[in-house]
Amino acid sequence: MTEHSADSSCIFCAIIAGRAPARFIYEVDDACAFLDANPLRLGHTLVVPRRHVRDLLDEGAAEPLAAIGPALHRTALLLKDGLVADGISVLQANGAAAGQTVFHLHFHLLPRPANDVPLTDWTPNLTARESLPETHHTLTS
């Protein structure tokens, strides 16, 4: 993987650099995808650029945003096929007022079955959290 700018206080930069644990399901030079440690649904995945930018409003965000487009596409297909999802919800926030809590540009991909209950809050799904090892194995084997 190529070197990218990082923020030493950013948990996603630490994950990207291998200094913090994560369950990666997709990786390319400019982007990666890993299972959310507090999933809202089974297979809840974060797709992030390797280059640190805070959000869509950050100076220089256009290049990393363009670079992660293919990773978003590939990860969505992996989740749909690997978990037999009927759809994928994509969630993204910019700034604290919008609900962003990790200030590294990222997208949440949530596999959704046809009969899924509405997504109305950010409460982690405990069953999905307990299934992280099995979900990781399913998506990476």
109 burial class (0-12, 13-18, 19+ CB within 10 angstroms)? buried
CA distance 52 to 4: 8
What is the CB neighbour count within 10 angstroms for residue 72? Answer: 19
* CA-CA-CA-CA dihedral for 7, 97, 132, 80, to nearest 10: -100
CA distance 19 to 6: 12
Q: What DSSP designation does 42 have?
A: T
Residue 106 catalytic?
Answer: yes
Which of the residues 106, 108, 136, 137 is marked catalytic? 106
CA distance 32 to 46: 8
Would you name the residues annotated as active-site residues? 106
